[in-house]
Amino acid sequence: MKYFLTPIVLVIFFDLYSKNFALNYLQEKVNILWNFFFLKYAENTWIAFSIPLEWLALKIITIILTWAIIFYFFKYEYNEKNKLLSVSFWLILWWAIANWYERIFNEKVIDFLWIKYFVIFNFADVAITTGAIIYLLILFKENKKTTP
């Protein structure tokens, strides 16, 4: 656990810095790749995938989900021998905390990575998704081992 404190601080700093960069320097969209992938400033005042919720409900849900992830991880999944499992949860948790901070104190999350016709997101969303995919792959692999 002690090895995760420095990365937590660095990751949250990187996330907040990248969002501050988007806020200050992305007044117009910037084409990054083949008129398909852009940098574009956007404010997400709702929850994942822009599902609309009132601000108080959103803050409460954000806090509950973050604490639920922490509780679940330490109660059911934490295993010092399975480093990849820990990495998957820490990816989810670190970035959930970064989004949690922004949602609670700024009442919005800044998104700036845009895939045309699809979705606009930020680095926290990428890390949370990556952590979830790693976790699901671990579950799939363990399930294959136990299934006759």
- Cα–chain-centroid distance for residue 105? 17
Quote the tokens at residue 96.
């959930």
CB 89 within 8 A of CB 128: no
Give dist(CA 85, CA 135) in Å, integer: 6
**Catalytic residue ranges:** 111, 125
Number of H helices and E strands in the chain, helices first, is 4, 4
